[in-house]
Structure 1
Amino acid sequence: MPNVYQRKGSEVWHYSFTVDGERYRRSAETDDKRLAEDIAIKHEALVRRAVVHGEEAVLTFPDAVAEYLDDGKDGRFLAKLIRHFKGWKVKDINGPEIRKAAKIIYPDASPATWNRQVITPMRAVINHIAEAKRLPKISVKRFKEEKKRRPAGNTDWLSAFSKTAKALDMPETAALARFLFETATRVSEACRLTWDDVNLQLGVAFLERTKNGEGRKVFLTRAMVVDLANIRSRHPTLVFAAANRSTVKKRIDKVITAAKLPRLTSHEFGRHGFATEMIVRNGVDVATTADHGGWKSRRLLMEIYVEGDADREVIDRVFGKKKSP
């Protein structure tokens, strides 16, 4: 039976108990003694069950999400998943249940949305806790997506965009567009870039926080170095003076409208444009493209487009061969 007590000067109840020689002490976070006793008894029962049957027997999906977020992982799309799987043990969640949940949570969505907002985050959360607790990992079959051919940026589009942006006195937007196109950087990563992360003399920049959790170095062409040098004094902290993707989108849309260019998203002329320029237009192998663009999975590139060590020469060859404005 847990010991329930109050500390001197506090109305909040605490409790303690011992299981398998290990002492547990917690705050019940309530001033109701009976409620505190119920919380303590429930906690002790969970710990005893975990000791006897293994942690997998008591681990819930909300518990797994809490550890996932505590480790600084992406919390997008998790709220609806927590509501759906509230009270579920992780051990009871399998591929078919996750696929079924996708259709229940987003009944009118496309397979791409089910994959992005249910299967991918569910798999990430469960496999994260599985690795931490040495539990079995999960494999979930993705929904088949209809392949849509997305437009991609190219050097001509970038040149026209850059010329217009500079004419509008928006050189930081011109520099940002080139940076996204030539380095495959995501908008959120570019927004976090500071001048401490950039070495113009060496022609490199370091992205400390990326989507896949790994920092990476990107090479800057001469034209990119010039564009950055020209805005160095305008924005002393954030390189592109944009705090979020919403700010970036407004600036990009303004330039596209003024230039009367085909409307592309930052992903289409940036990351997608980078891969298309490397693989399709210049024949660079998938492995080298993945290394330079920060794709953790080469399979994703293989699925979208059609092997090698990353070096500066390939970036200069592809993106630095033409003189740009």
Structure 2
Amino acid sequence: MTVFKRDGSEFWWIEFQYKGERYRRSSESTSKRKAEEMERKWREELRATALLGKIPELAWEDAIDRYFETVVKPRGNKSAAKRDLYVLNALKLELGAATHISALTAPVIVEYRDKLLSAGKAPATVNRYLAIIKAILRKAHTEWGALAVLPSFRLLKLNNERYRWLTDDEEDRLLIHCPVHLRDLCTFLIDTGARLSEATTLTWANVDMKRHPRPLVKFMDTKSGKPRSVPLTKRVEEMFQRLHASKPEREERVFLYRPLGNDVSGARSHRIRC
């Protein structure tokens, strides 16, 4: 059996060759005996796969397409699906569309992770890529019967320190220097903590001005995919009353852009482009 320790690692690593291919991964255990047992089981899985032909050939491209069609799309969140599709297309290109998923071993994925970091990707973004890779491979292993060994790799540790709030003075200076046509939008973002996409897609149908004791807004297209409601502050309530009174007929969006210098009542409305 081939188990060893790498410099700087407390865990035992497994490495061996089978049918001309090299297999290597961390046992994530400080016990040599446990690492040797993991290697034995790994070899047995590979041998069973070769003898019985239980694992079909599945290209990375096909695994990505199947994941999108059977996991992402059924969630019904078009905005989230669009974001996931961007990442999936990047993964398809960067890891090789024709690559067999069994070739995506832990060392290969860790090397890809390090490549993303070297290219300047933020750790949170890198974790999002890794999480999707992990989800696809887990599906292939546990449900599709297309992956004998699930590679083990960890996401990056992030600094989850909370962002501080703006002081009253900082908020005043921000709104003073904010373009007039975006001031209402910025005020809404400050008071509700909404994401920009949640604010710019907000419609009057999801504003409940009659609710007591406080009016609220409902965000339907959220990052988590779950709708959420946020009560309105007094100044946002007053702002919404003003915006609703002056909104163009049949306009559904709450926040609009109107060119400066035109009469508001006769100006043509344009959706905000941020």
Residue 63 of structure 2 corresponds to which residue in structure 1?
Answer: 64
Residue 229 of structure 1 corresponds to which residue in structure 2?
Answer: 241
Residue 87 of structure 2 corresponds to which residue in structure 1?
Answer: 77
What is the CA distance between 1:220 and its match in structure 2? Answer: 1.1
Q: Secondary structure at the match of 1:180?
A: helix
Residue 33 of structure 2 corresponds to which residue in structure 1?
Answer: none
Mean CA deviation greater in 63-72 or 236-245: 236-245
Matches within 5 A, 1:35-74: 57-70=56-69, 71=73, 72=78, 73=81, 74=84
The answer to whether the 8 Å contact 1:102/1:119 transfers is yes
Q: Deviations over 1:93-131 (max 9, x none)?
A: 344322212334664325627625632442354456778
State the distance in 2 between where 1:224 and 1:53 align.
Answer: 64
Residue 7 of structure 2 corresponds to which residue in structure 1?
Answer: none
Do the aligned partners of residues 152 and 61 (structure 1) sit closer, same or farther apart at CA in structure 2, a change above 3 Å counting?
A: farther
The answer to whether the 8 Å contact 1:208/1:214 transfers is yes
The answer to whether the 8 Å contact 1:180/1:187 transfers is yes
User: Which of 132, 136, 156 in structure 1 is aligned with 2:169?
Assistant: 156
State the distance in 1 between where 2:119 and 2:112 align.
Answer: 13
User: Which of 238, 247, 263 in structure 1 is aligned with 2:253?
Assistant: 238
- Give the AA of the match of 2:169: D
The alignment of Structure 1 onto Structure 2 pairs a total of residues equal to 192
Do the aligned partners of residues 87 and 194 (structure 1) sit closer, same or farther apart at CA in structure 2, a change above 3 Å counting?
A: same
For structure 2, the residue ranges without an aligned partner over 5 or more in a row are: 1-48, 258-269
State the distance in 2 between where 1:138 and 1:184 align.
Answer: 38
The answer to whether the 8 Å contact 1:95/1:140 transfers is yes
Mean CA deviation greater in 186-195 or 67-76: 67-76
User: Which of 80, 90, 109 in structure 2 is aligned with 1:98?
Assistant: 109
| Residue 177 of structure 1 pairs with residue 197 of structure 2 | no
Residue 275 of structure 1 corresponds to which residue in structure 2?
Answer: none
State the distance in 2 between where 1:99 and 1:126 align.
Answer: 14
The answer to whether the 8 Å contact 1:106/1:114 transfers is no
What is the CA distance between 1:138 and its match in structure 2? Answer: 6.8
State the distance in 2 between where 1:216 and 1:146 align.
Answer: 26
Q: Secondary structure at the match of 1:88?
A: coil
Q: Deviations over 1:215-265 (max 9, x none)?
A: 1111112221111221122353211126888x33xxxxxxxxxxxxxxxxx
Do the aligned partners of residues 65 and 109 (structure 1) sit closer, same or farther apart at CA in structure 2, a change above 3 Å counting?
A: same
Residue 206 of structure 2 corresponds to which residue in structure 1?
Answer: 197
- Give the AA of the match of 2:196: V
What is the CA distance between 1:195 and its match in structure 2? Answer: 0.8
What is the CA distance between 1:194 and its match in structure 2? Answer: 0.8
Do the aligned partners of residues 209 and 81 (structure 1) sit closer, same or farther apart at CA in structure 2, a change above 3 Å counting?
A: same
Q: Secondary structure at the match of 2:229?
A: strand
The answer to whether the 8 Å contact 1:95/1:141 transfers is no
User: Which of 217, 222, 244 in structure 2 is aligned with 1:210?
Assistant: 222
State the distance in 1 between where 2:58 and 2:184 align.
Answer: 48
Residue 133 of structure 2 corresponds to which residue in structure 1?
Answer: 122
| Residue 220 of structure 1 pairs with residue 219 of structure 2 | no
- Give the AA of the match of 2:154: K
State the distance in 2 between where 1:105 and 1:115 align.
Answer: 7
State the distance in 1 between where 2:177 and 2:118 align.
Answer: 43
Q: Secondary structure at the match of 1:217?
A: strand
For structure 1, the residue ranges without an aligned partner over 5 or more in a row are: 1-48, 249-325
State the distance in 1 between where 2:58 and 2:132 align.
Answer: 18
The answer to whether the 8 Å contact 2:187/2:236 transfers is yes
What is the CA distance between 1:59 and its match in structure 2? Answer: 3.7
Do the aligned partners of residues 67 and 227 (structure 1) sit closer, same or farther apart at CA in structure 2, a change above 3 Å counting?
A: farther
State the distance in 2 between where 1:96 and 1:138 align.
Answer: 9
Q: Secondary structure at the match of 1:205?
A: strand
What is the CA distance between 1:141 and its match in structure 2? Answer: 1.5
Q: Secondary structure at the match of 2:218?
A: strand
